[in-house]
């Protein structure tokens, strides 16, 4: 059975955003965490007492990485925690596994608790198929939907729907031909649920209604292979993340969004040089971008050298940054999320040289870095964004039947447990400041330049826009220069971030005022065959409109040549607008509202 563990938490001293930085290691192995109020975390996992006698463990931590209290419970065999799900009313669900009860058969152990770890109820759901939980989600009625499979040999999927008090609503068995195991559950846009199954080279998505009845099944393929590892519902669609390969030995991270009718809204692939990678988690940030984690095969050929990767995108799915980190053996990320201050909470484990595993719990900075560089880290080389080809076809090779779980009430008390956290290294990130504190104003249509500098860290520094937008026409270089020609006036608010050579970071909020610069017309001259008018001047914008003789509607046949010249075209129709010897007003209005007039007489 795959082991599950606890991974890493720290906080960071940033200019204008002070946080303490820390990172912890624990012998207790964690698998899931839940964010609480005031930056507190609730974690669950496995407390190892011996090779065949582990207990379910739950731990509560404050925002500084200190244990507030920890509990454990279990029987004579192996028990552990897998999932934490917030309840619709009070408290949370802790979902784990156990083979300590009922003739040592594997079962799913669900506890409903309050935030102080007082048990409200607990039940054991036993299967004669030796099944354990692969994924579980909270439902809108306050209950749970769980997906199970035999922990050793795979086989059919078993679905269990319970209400908020743990009573069974229905149970189903689904067999998908050729599939290895179920991977993820999500609510669907039109009600019901979506479940993904991984096959050797493709994925099957099944839609079920609230009663567990199958509506349809689809198979998704692409190139060499395509597997969906996580899916979740957004307001306007369902997001799928997985792994694909258009050609041999070229793994891609794939993210897709599908609408309620399973039509692709958008899709992105992220190329790497690694032959195998497998995303395991995805969250959407406050900035609209996505954060994806998973594992990649560093050595190739399955030599057990797997690193963790992190990919951050912006709201348009462009790569903001990417990282990979780990030791010389197997490393994995099992859970991640973002804090209210844009740091990254992570949970996972690493394999040690003695074939044992160490768990970590921590907090990365907003750039995906370990601020004190005590963990192997570098960029994923040559990651590029590309379109991907995904085929979706109806799938019919499946069957469904009823199934029956055995429900028993359990009465096991959680007892205080000694779980120790160890500092892996001391924080060493300095406070990095960005200068100047404010930016000079500019004018639309005129060249603009401002140089930002950083101090307090180790050069070289890299600058970027982490939120908001520069005026159209301006850009920020990695070296810190804002330059270009703004095309429109207004007030623009944005945040500049910087990282130094050790990936320590800082950021500063800026407001940039761009004054509207009106155009000016210096001359109008006639061009013949056909009749045209050449208008020269300054500060013409490409989005300008031209009005002739007080017309309410603009003249549409205009060629923009440069910021100092446009040509009015139209032949005889344009000529009719300018009767010979009669002065006619020409008005130019830029997109930002600046305008100029000129009287022309033919």
pLDDT-above-70 percentage for the chain = 86
Listed in sequence order, the residues at least 6 apart from 509 whose beta carbon sits closer than 8 Å to its beta carbon are: 16, 493, 494, 495
Q: What is the model's pLDDT at position 322?
A: 82
Q: What is the model's pLDDT at position 18?
A: 37
* DSSP assignment of 36-69: -GGG-EEEEEEEESSTT-EEEEEEEE-TTS-EEE
CA gap 267, 323 in Å, rounded: 22
Is pLDDT of 331 > 90? no
Placement of tokens 């590029």 in the chain: 384
- Among the listed ranges 325-329, 347-351, 394-398, which one has the minimum average pLDDT value? 325-329
Beta bridge partners of 113: 92, 119
Q: Is 217 exposed, middle or buried (0-12, 13-18, 19+ CB in 10 A)?
A: buried
Q: What is the 3-state secondary structure (H, E, C) of 185-212?
A: EEECCCCCEEEEEECCCCEEEEEECCCC
Q: What is the model's pLDDT at position 51?
A: 57
Is pLDDT of 162 > 60? yes
pLDDT-derived band at 10, boundaries 50, 70, 90: very low
Nearest CA-CA partner of 217 in 395, 399, 390, 397: 395
Q: What is the model's pLDDT at position 405?
A: 79
Thinking of the domain 433-515, which architecture would CATH place it in? Sandwich (2.60)
pLDDT-above-90 percentage for the chain = 33
Pairing state of beta strands 131-138 and 119-126?
unpaired
Q: What is the model's pLDDT at position 375?
A: 43
Question: Which two three-digit tokens encode residue 222?
Answer: 């692409």
Is pLDDT of 8 > 80? no
- Among the listed ranges 10-19, 123-132, 226-235, which one has the minimum average pLDDT value? 10-19
Dihedral sign for Cα atoms in the order 321, 324, 325, 330 = positive
CA gap 328, 353 in Å, rounded: 9
* pLDDT per residue as tens digits for the range 224-252: 788 888 998 998 899 999 888 766 556 78
Is pLDDT of 371 > 70? no
Q: What is the model's pLDDT at position 45?
A: 87
Mean pLDDT on 484-491: 88
Q: What is the model's pLDDT at position 224?
A: 78
Nearest CA-CA partner of 279 in 290, 288, 289, 287: 290
- Among the listed ranges 365-379, 465-479, 544-558, which one has the minimum average pLDDT value? 365-379
* 274-283, 360-369, 403-412: which is most confident: 274-283
Which is more confidently placed, 117 or 85?
A: 85
How long, in residues, is the chain? 602
CATH of the domain spanning 520-601, picked from 2.60.40.10, 3.40.50.720, 3.40.309.10, 2.70.70.10: 2.60.40.10
Q: What is the model's pLDDT at position 301?
A: 55
| Cβ count near 594 (within 10 Å) | 21
Please indicate whether the domains covering 433-515 and 520-601 agree at the CATH topology level.
Answer: yes
Q: What is the model's pLDDT at position 103?
A: 64
pLDDT-derived band at 601, boundaries 50, 70, 90: very high
pLDDT-derived band at 271, boundaries 50, 70, 90: confident
CA gap 508, 438 in Å, rounded: 9
Q: What is the model's pLDDT at position 426?
A: 46
**Mean pLDDT (the chain, rounded):** 82
Q: What is the model's pLDDT at position 429?
A: 66
pTM (predicted TM-score): 0.68
Nearest CA-CA partner of 48 in 362, 415, 357: 357
Whether 504 contacts 457, CB under 8 Å: yes
Backbone angles phi, psi at 238, to 5 degrees: -115, 130
CA gap 359, 357 in Å, rounded: 7
Show me where the domains of the chain are located. Answer: 433-515, 520-601
């Amino acid at each position: 059975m795959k082991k599950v563990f606890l991974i890493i938490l720290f906080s960071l001293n940033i200019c204008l955003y002070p946080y303490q930085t820390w990172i912890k290691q624990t012998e207790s192995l964690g698998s899931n965490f839940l964010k609480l109020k005031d930056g507190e975390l609730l974690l669950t996992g496995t407390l190892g007492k011996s090779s065949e006698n582990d207990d379910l463990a739950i731990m509560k931590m404050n925002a500084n990485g200190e244990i507030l209290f920890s509990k454990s419970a279990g029987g004579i065999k192996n028990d552990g925690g897998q999932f934490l799900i917030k309840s619709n009313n009070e408290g949370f669900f802790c979902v784990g596994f156990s083979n300590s009860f009922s003739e040592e058969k594997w079962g799913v152990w669900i506890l409903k608790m309050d935030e102080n770890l007082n048990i409200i109820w607990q039940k054991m759901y036993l299967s004669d198929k030796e099944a354990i939980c692969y994924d579980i989600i909270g439902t809108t009625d306050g209950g749970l939907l769980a997906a199970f499979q035999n922990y050793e040999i795979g086989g059919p999927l078993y679905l269990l729907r319970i209400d908020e008090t743990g009573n069974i609503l229905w149970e189903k068995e689904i067999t998908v031909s050729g599939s290895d195991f179920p991977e993820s559950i999500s609510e669907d846009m039109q009600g019901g649920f979506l479940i993904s199954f991984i096959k050797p080279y493709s994925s099957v998505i099944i839609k079920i209604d609230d009663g567990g009845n199958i509506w349809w099944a689809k198979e998704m393929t692409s190139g060499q292979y395509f597997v969906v590892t996580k899916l979740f519902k957004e307001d306007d669609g369902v997001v799928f993340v997985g792994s694909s390969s258009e050609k041999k030995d070229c793994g891609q991270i794939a993210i897709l969004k599908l609408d309620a009718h399973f039509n692709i809204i958008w899709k992105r692939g992220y190329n790497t040089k690694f032959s195998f990678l497998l995303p395991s988690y995805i969250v959407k940030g406050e900035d609209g971008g996505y954060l994806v984690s998973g594992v990649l095969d560093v050595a190739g050929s399955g030599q057990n050298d797997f690193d963790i990767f992190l990919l951050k995108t912006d709201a348009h799915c462009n790569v903001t940054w990417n990282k990979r980190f780990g030791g010389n053996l197997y490393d994995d990320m099992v859970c991640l999320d973002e804090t209210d201050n844009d740091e990254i909470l992570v949970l996972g484990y690493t394999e040690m040289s003695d074939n044992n595993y160490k768990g970590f719990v921590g907090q990365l900075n907003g750039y995906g870095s370990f601020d004190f560089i005590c963990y192997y880290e570098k960029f994923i080389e040559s990651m590029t964004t590309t379109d991907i080809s995904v085929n979706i076809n109806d799938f019919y090779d499946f069957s469904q039947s009823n199934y029956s779980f055995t429900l028993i009430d359990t009465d096991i008390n959680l007892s205080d447990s000694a779980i120790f956290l160890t500092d892996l290294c001391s924080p060493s990130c300095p406070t990095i400041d960005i200068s100047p504190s404010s930016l000079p104003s500019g004018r639309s249509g005129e060249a603009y330049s401002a140089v930002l500098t950083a101090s307090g860290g180790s050069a070289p520094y890299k600058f970027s826009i982490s939120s908001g937008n520069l005026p159209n026409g301006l850009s920020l270089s990695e070296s810190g220069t804002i330059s270009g020609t703004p095309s429109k006036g207004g007030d623009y608010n944005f945040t500049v971030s910087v990282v130094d050579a050790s990936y320590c970071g800082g950021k500063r909020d800026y407001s940039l005022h761009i004054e509207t610069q009106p155009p000016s017309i210096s001359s109008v001259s006639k061009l013949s065959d056909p009749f045209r008018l050449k208008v020269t001047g300054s500060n013409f914008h490409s989005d300008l409109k031209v009005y002739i003789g007080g017309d309410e509607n603009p003249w549409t046949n205009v060629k923009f040549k440069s910021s100092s010249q446009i040509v009015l075209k139209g032949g005889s129709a344009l000529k009719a607008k300018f009767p010979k010897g009669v002065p006619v007003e020409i008005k130019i209005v830029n997109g930002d509202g600046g305008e100029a007039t000129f009287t022309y007489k033919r």
